[in-house]
Amino acid sequence: MGEPNHLRQRERAGARARRAQERPRVQWPVVARNVGIVVVLLVVGLYLESREDTKPASNSCELVEAQPSGASEEHIAHLALTGYRDLRSRRVTVLTLSDEKDPGTVMANLCEQRWYVAKLIDALSAMGASEIVIDKHFSPRACGPGDAGTAALVASVQHTTVPVVVGRSTHPPHGTDTSGSCLVLGDSLDFGYKVDSMGNPTKNPAALYGLTRLNSDIEKIPLGWSCYASDQAFDAGQAPTDKRVDSLSWMAAAAVDSGLRNEPRIVALQKEGHHPYTSFIDAKTMSHVDGLSVLCNSSQRGEVAARYQVDCPAHPAPEADLHGQIVVVGEDVQDRDPHTLFGANVAGVYLQANYIESLLDDRFMKAIDGSWNYIGLIAWLVCLYLIFWIQPEVALGVSVAAIVVLRYAFIEIATYRGYYPRLTILDLGAVAPVLKYIEARGHLAMHALMERHEKRSRRAG
């Protein structure tokens, strides 16, 4: 006889129950944990990206470039050490004026310093410098009429055949908040026109001018600033412009390489109102000379030694070959114009020299648009979840190796293409494998614990 109907129904019901247990079910706690990881990473990334965003302002007077970019010094340092470019002084040498190495009267008296700089210009010209950049501004009223130092400086600038770029200062308009206002171009000593070998004036300006003002975010090369022509122009309501005077570093680089003014990437940056990022040559390894080593090994030796009672044999010839070099002259005095770079104080003259070298060495970079950072992070998270279909420990090793390789490749490709890779948001991808590993290993541990509990329950039953 056949089985009773109620037994067959019971067997069919048991089979359906077994199939239901075997059918994959959506594990909502696991989904919630994974969604939570993604959401947390994206929220943190949004916060970091908002800190780094430095879109140019609609008002050219807003000092947008003075806002910190959020890009850490560690990233800049890492970028500087990549194989993309051998960072060293190629065309620029720094000549510093300091309390330790130069006569005290020179450092204490601005008018005497002008005479000293005049002799440096003569000596550097004779040594074959290709350009002299003076990271200082000279007020027409700082020294009285008929000052000998001023006269010597003007004469040296006029007579040298080497291009000379001199700094110009800026100051805030009277009675305004400097955070939202264009600055006013400061007065400068008039250097007149070059003179020929016969002493006759030519139609060529004796000096070029550039604004010494830097970005507060010193990772960026200043290309130019909008400013008023004078206090009178500001009072008269005249509009400011960035067409009047370039920055010191941009003027110096463009004077040597005129093709820079037509460089498409530079033109695009100027049009968009951006200042490009750069990597840095360590100030300790940058080509450097001091004033007395130059003067004591030139035709100015006797005059300088007598004027300042200098023992010239104690100042050997500079190791750096100055022939064909751009020499940037500026002060390196403690607590005067300090800037923090990689945890150390650096004088502004070193930054100006690095900016010039960067522009000539094609080492300027535009920040990658923030949307690409999000695309990269999301693509990595998708790949990460595919990787973690395999055993968690193996997946963790694979993902760590992938991060190291992809991160280095990304930096190399980006910098080669002239982009600055802001890595802060993408570095969140390094956190994701750890979070995913903890989640995956925790899920497996919980599953094993539940299986042991079920086995004990069956044995107990």
What is the average pLDDT score of the chain?
A: 78
Q: What pLDDT sits at residue 57?
A: 45
Q: What is the pTM of this model?
A: 0.72
315 against 41, higher pLDDT: 315
At 266-280, the pLDDT tens digits run 888 888 778 888 878
455 pairs with which residues across the strands?
A: none
Is beta strand 183-185 parallel, antiparallel or unpaired with respect to 419-420? unpaired
At 6-54, the pLDDT tens digits run 566 666 665 555 555 544 444 546 556 556 666 666 666 666 655 555 4
